[in-house]
Structure 1
């Protein structure tokens, strides 16, 4: 009887201990997500070693790392960090210096994207309505960055996007007004115009937009590097591609059109692959096997070694594709299949100057025509390749990426009808705190962009708002006319 009693007490105590552990662990987990959401989600991203083999970590190793990440607050991280620090004057917004240069033309689309809220402004209720479609919320108050996470983003999109916000604040200390916004990190824009014919849409920032959505286009994470594919930060990569493009003179390159990528993410790409069956269509298409590439250390996918064809093809993926800037930088004429989506900069590209437009419904014939025509008019098409490459180097340099972020957020903040406050579950982030919890490869990418963002300069100067609509209207009309001329050329087989 005593034995049974002792067993029962032992079982009870064991059960009580287990329940206590579960409750404490659950509370700790919830606090971790609340206190350090991006840090917590980063635990389950694979660590990489120098040989690019994924290292597995036990649950307890993950828990240990999570505990460490709780101490990665801005205050704690800054104390132990040697990074340069900036102080942010309370409620004092400094003005750009007088020595600023004019912004590139595509900055005019900033106010165009914000037109739906131009008259009525943006209320807290409108921002909250976007929450159901947002991945995270970004708040800046007195130069301090806060983030509230709602769901995990693919790979490290959220991590490097937030890093970009932190670098922009570091680059322009005391100049960024308070704001509160929702951000979607998925592929396709989601605020459809058809759903808001008689109502104001909720404002939502996104990596791309379209003619049938209200999503506000904003620079994507890849400008600070795409760790999973070992694609370095844009500042370094654009120079690497530029240097790589000079290894083979354009006249000596393969006189065909080239595309390499994953065709299975988009019907548009599957349709492009059908061109392989067209006789003498003047193109070479290759399927990119990312799984195989990752196992081989991405030896065969270096973007700086892919400038060996006279022409390069751009086709969208599931939505817009970050590959456009890599393709344009190659100093080969970009054969751009008419896109459905736009990112923040491609609306400033001019057909027949920065790229050659390709009809989406007759891709194979259109590509065959321009390659034949271009190989007989080399001086003309060579200049198109140069103009596209120069645009990437000069008008899409990282300074302008930060400037676009700055002006987009500044114009957005002007429309807010309320004073932003810090949400209950928001966490403060800064360069130091992010570097505290990322893995070694992520840290190396971030540190590369850190030094550049720390160099203070004035943002470029945008033109007057009154002229934007007229300038954009004339610009789009010009593009339409040029594309019409190209179609006429193809139809008459000039």
Structure 2
């Protein structure tokens, strides 16, 4: 097997390179050496990759490997980073004022509220270790990781890659901190375990999703920087591709049905398969089961997200918990039929029924889906408006700038709660933008790499929600969902010959 290639970015200079440089000096003149240093400096300044050997390897997802096996062929972070690692020049924004952050940033305060009074102690961190995949420590702008157990596929790698890009976007602005991160599906810090007068304070654990019964701290998921195992590009890349694909077929020319394609990893998705076209029923739903093992073997020929904007309606159904598919589905400019979710990510709590999506109840979902399609086909302007609003939210509110700013404010607010001085664990590894990935992983990292510090300040974090504002928001969502239920009830009361 060929030795993997290691690429050093952003001024990272390999130690092995220093050794070769020393030998080179003894055999060349001073002038040649000077020219060599100037040349290397120019490459670094231009952010040009310098290729060297690698201490670890990665098996590309483009190989014919079964998805269950991919998670065992893992990337390992470099044991050492170059002593020349720095995240480019100092942060010097050109703009003196910042724009207000989107409204969903307010949830940062709510997610950190359990520790507002007590603060976060080292004991709380230590008690959260059994629930975490790794500990991330940031000290003086450098990142260190202490691993506890392997995460599924490369979720941890791309999550930490995203944090490294944040450090490059706002160099010197992210404070020292320690945090625990869990990369799985299910929530891990449950409210019921920390209730009562004698209950211990909950440990703070960062995670991709939350639910009413949990206290997990919500953080943007790994797929914003790419999901190599299933060939999903970084968010900015795939968003442009989806938008381009959506433009090829106008809404009124699309198939007048509801579309879903995926793996039946939950009860809801299993039920959804029953709504497909059959000899007995046409629920106006077209469902396609995704076989990722087959897709990997065939080079992802039938799983391009940009080719799936062919129907007027697209269905969002949770997997084991929340699903990263939500943003891709809503970006398609089709009206999203959202099967009542139990979980949420960092932005979805600001989505509103009948404004950004159409709500679908979990029970008897086939019956609810056929009404949603019938309503949309008889109210085409309203259905198009809902689809466009959802797509516009993904395009304008979920920019990578906002994703990074959300991370920035969440980490800053979190760091203010720490009651101890962050310290580098003895077993932690320093990580930097020195990557050894091959295939899609390397390609996606290069695509999502921050190449220079921001020339703008982060957006301005809005104040916390007042309790009455949260209640009012929930009341609005409940009222709009109830409106849909009333419309549907009246629809099914009509004689068959009057139904549209």
| Cα separation, 2, equivalents of 1:419 and 1:344 | 28
Note the 1:115-264 alignment, pairs <5 A.
115-198=113-196, 199=199, 200-263=201-264
Mark the runs of 5 or more structure 1 residues left unpaired by the alignment: 1-41, 56-61, 89-93
1:440–1:364 distance in 2 versus 1, CA, 3 Å: closer
Deviation at 1:418, TM superposition (A): 1.1
3-state SS of 1:119 partner: coil
Cα deviations by residue, 1:315-363 (Å, 9 ceiling, x for unpaired): 0001110000000000000000010111111111111011000001121
Q: Does the 8 Å contact 2:60/2:441 carry over to 1? A: no
Match of 2:417 in 1: 415
TM-score normalized with structure 1 length: 0.82
Cα deviations by residue, 1:436-476 (Å, 9 ceiling, x for unpaired): x32243222111111466444311112223x4444333222
3-state SS of 1:210 partner: coil
Q: Does the 8 Å contact 1:254/1:308 carry over to 2? A: yes
Cα deviations by residue, 1:346-393 (Å, 9 ceiling, x for unpaired): 111111011000001121111110100110000000000100111001
Note the 1:269-284 alignment, pairs <5 A.
269-276=269-276, 279-284=281-286
Cα deviations by residue, 1:215-265 (Å, 9 ceiling, x for unpaired): 1111011000011111110011111101100000000000000000001x1
1:254–1:173 distance in 2 versus 1, CA, 3 Å: same
3-state SS of 1:258 partner: strand
Aligned to 1:47, which of 53, 60, 65? 60
Aligned to 2:329, which of 322, 327, 330? 327
3-state SS of 2:449 partner: helix
Match of 2:445 in 1: 446
Match of 1:478 in 2: 476
Q: Does the 8 Å contact 2:116/2:417 carry over to 1? A: yes
Q: Cα RMSD over matched residues?
A: 2.4
Aligned to 1:85, which of 82, 85, 88? 88
| Cα separation, 2, equivalents of 1:268 and 1:74 | 49
3-state SS of 2:83 partner: helix
Task: Indicate whether 1:487 and 2:485 are aligned.
Answer: yes
Match of 2:101 in 1: 103
Cα deviations by residue, 1:300-326 (Å, 9 ceiling, x for unpaired): 110001000000000000111000000
1:114–1:311 distance in 2 versus 1, CA, 3 Å: same
Task: Indicate whether 1:464 and 2:463 are aligned.
Answer: yes
Q: Does the 8 Å contact 1:108/1:468 carry over to 2? A: no
3-state SS of 1:459 partner: coil
Note the 1:280-291 alignment, pairs <5 A.
280-291=282-293
| Cα separation, 2, equivalents of 1:179 and 1:406 | 12
1:300–1:452 distance in 2 versus 1, CA, 3 Å: farther
Q: Does the 8 Å contact 1:168/1:453 carry over to 2? A: no
Match of 1:356 in 2: 358
| Cα separation, 1, equivalents of 2:136 and 2:235 | 23
3-state SS of 1:443 partner: helix
Deviation at 1:98, TM superposition (A): 4.0
Task: Indicate whether 1:73 and 2:73 are aligned.
Answer: no
Deviation at 1:396, TM superposition (A): 0.3
| Cα separation, 1, equivalents of 2:481 and 2:236 | 31
Match of 2:398 in 1: 396
Q: Does the 8 Å contact 2:93/2:456 carry over to 1? A: no
Q: Aligned pairs, how many?
A: 426
